[in-house]
Structure 1
Amino acid sequence: MSTILFGSISTLADTSELQRRAFNDAFQAYGLDWEWSRDDYTSMLSSNGGAQRIEQFAATKGVDVDAAAVHAKKSEIFQELLGSSSISPRPGVVDVVEEAKRGGHEVGFVTTTSQGNIDALLAALKPHISAEMFDLIVNRDSVSSPKPNPEVYEYALKTLGADAGDVVAIEDNVGGVSAATAAGITCIAFPNENTAGGDFSAADETVDSLDATKILGLTAPDSRS
């Protein structure tokens, strides 16, 4: 059985600017005189992990902060923003999910974000996308190492009983692409508005919209011959 794995929140809906706003609001809530511009934020997206970004940024400022607490506040704000904002699935996402399900393929959502963020996103995307559409949803508690470590994809393969050669991953950031390819999975890069300038040369293809027929075709046994 072929499998399609969506690799992060912004492969389903482009939430990158909401994320940046949530970071800045969290900084303000903690009395930090920080304001991440879009250029600032874009430069940080080559690595995964919001708390790590906060910690690294604090180090450059010579400031000691509780990065985990600030990041938890950011997640709280982000979830509130998802609930109050009008977001929609990215181009082709619904077609890919629906076509995969019609064809008897498995569909997974393989992230290393919190379950709270996942729940808020899927609630905001109803009725277009819902948790029931996924055969597997992975969050950061499922694994010990975040992307770009391939553990999250190895966990998904094991849980679904899937062979890497029958799987296509869709990722929006460089770290996610690295994780998927390290697990031996064909990866389609689907950059969001703030990761579009990244180096996606490790991906099998980079697209700005998803084509269901093409993506499902990549899981065919002879597609790599």
Structure 2
Amino acid sequence: MSTLAALIFDVDGTLADTERDGHRVAFNLAFQEAGLDWEWSPELYGELLAVTGGKERIRFYLDKYNTGFKRPGDLDEFVAGLHAAKTGFYTKLMAKGAIPLRPGVERLINEAKDAGVRLAIATTTTPENVTALLTYTLGADSIDWFEVIGAGDVVPLKKPAPDIFHYVLDKMNLASEQCVAFEDSYNGMRSAHQARLTTIVTTNGYTADDDFDGAAIVLDQMGEPDASFTVQAGDALGFSHLNLGMVRALHKAEHG
């Protein structure tokens, strides 16, 4: 029997709906600043989300959707510069309070913290983006609530590879069966599943139709006591909103 010791959260799309009105907007602002006529629509961005990582996403866009673009001699430097500018615009958007946390996120984090359950983050986004989101939603002190923040390029392969979860588990000195992961997308789910983690999925507008085979449960949101979630796949075990009790029950159902 394994006791639940830690919760490991993805960031974009899981903690907050940052993709459509956060990262996408920031990318477009970076393109404008660089004098590029690129415009990533909400629909196009949904297709680009098939690739994790901002720099990787720019390259994917050039390879598949903008093949006529004359690439500079040092493409790596060009992409890195665009991505750095995008990160700057994103943090400014967060500072304005443009993107709130999803329903139930703050409550669940506080429940876990108060119960002594350890917290960590495993994400493909940059550390700066994580810091911005946490600071402007939960407060600057919240960064210290998370024992490990696995983000950006700390591992060679991004999701759907399991590397980022292995990194976090190693840093926390925990086995996968002691933890529960929270994801929102196919790539995230595959990453967590390959790391042998019990995974709870909360979908969003971009990921509602993804394949989440292997998830402990798939919900439209975590919900609140006065605003129930909708179960998209799995057994909610009698719960109407995702709290620490439900997380423990789902973990127990998989590990005994």
Shared fold (TM-score, shorter chain, > 0.5)? yes
Aligned partner of 1:10: which letter?
G
Is structure 2 residue 165 aligned with structure 1 residue 153?
Answer: yes
Q: Show the counterpart of 1:75.
A: 87
Residue 89 of structure 1 and its aligned partner are, at CA, apart by 1.8
Q: Show the counterpart of 1:27.
A: 31
Select which of 37, 48, 52 maps to 2:52. Answer: 48
Q: Show the counterpart of 2:246.
A: 214
Contact 1:23 1:74 in 2 (8 A): yes
Is structure 2 residue 191 aligned with structure 1 residue 179?
Answer: yes
Deviations 1:19-65 (A, max 9, x none): 11111111111222211111111112122112112112123322125
CA distance in structure 2 between the partners assigned to 1:110 and 1:146 by the alignment? 10
Residue 171 of structure 1 and its aligned partner are, at CA, apart by 0.9
Match of 1:98, SS?
helix
How is 1:120-159 mapped onto 2 (pairs within 5 angstroms)?
120-127=132-139, 130-159=142-171
Match of 1:219, SS?
helix
Is structure 2 residue 11 aligned with structure 1 residue 8?
Answer: yes
Is structure 2 residue 119 aligned with structure 1 residue 115?
Answer: no
Change (3 A) 1:103 1:85: closer
Residue 96 of structure 1 and its aligned partner are, at CA, apart by 1.5
More displaced 10-residue stretch of structure 1: 37-46 or 133-142 = 133-142
CA distance in structure 2 between the partners assigned to 1:85 and 1:51 by the alignment? 25
CA distance in structure 1 between the partners assigned to 2:140 and 2:247 by the alignment? 19
Q: Show the counterpart of 2:107.
A: 95
Aligned length: 224
Q: Return 5+ residue gaps in structure 1 as ranges.
A: none
Contact 1:97 1:133 in 2 (8 A): no
Q: Show the counterpart of 1:204.
A: 216
Deviations 1:182-205 (A, max 9, x none): 000011122233333323234332
Change (3 A) 1:73 1:128: closer
The one of the two structures with greater contact order (alpha-carbon pairs below 8 A, sep at least 6) is: 1
More displaced 10-residue stretch of structure 1: 154-163 or 95-104 = 95-104
Residue 143 of structure 1 and its aligned partner are, at CA, apart by 1.8
CA distance in structure 2 between the partners assigned to 1:120 and 1:101 by the alignment? 20
Deviations 1:146-196 (A, max 9, x none): 111111101111111212112110012221111110000011122233333
Q: Show the counterpart of 1:162.
A: 174
Q: Show the counterpart of 2:228.
A: none
Contact 1:107 1:133 in 2 (8 A): yes
CA distance in structure 2 between the partners assigned to 1:223 and 1:57 by the alignment? 39
Match of 1:184, SS?
coil
Residue 125 of structure 1 and its aligned partner are, at CA, apart by 0.7
Aligned partner of 2:177: which letter?
G
Change (3 A) 1:171 1:214: same
Compare CA radii of gyration and give the structure with the larger one: 2
CA distance in structure 2 between the partners assigned to 1:132 and 1:126 by the alignment? 11
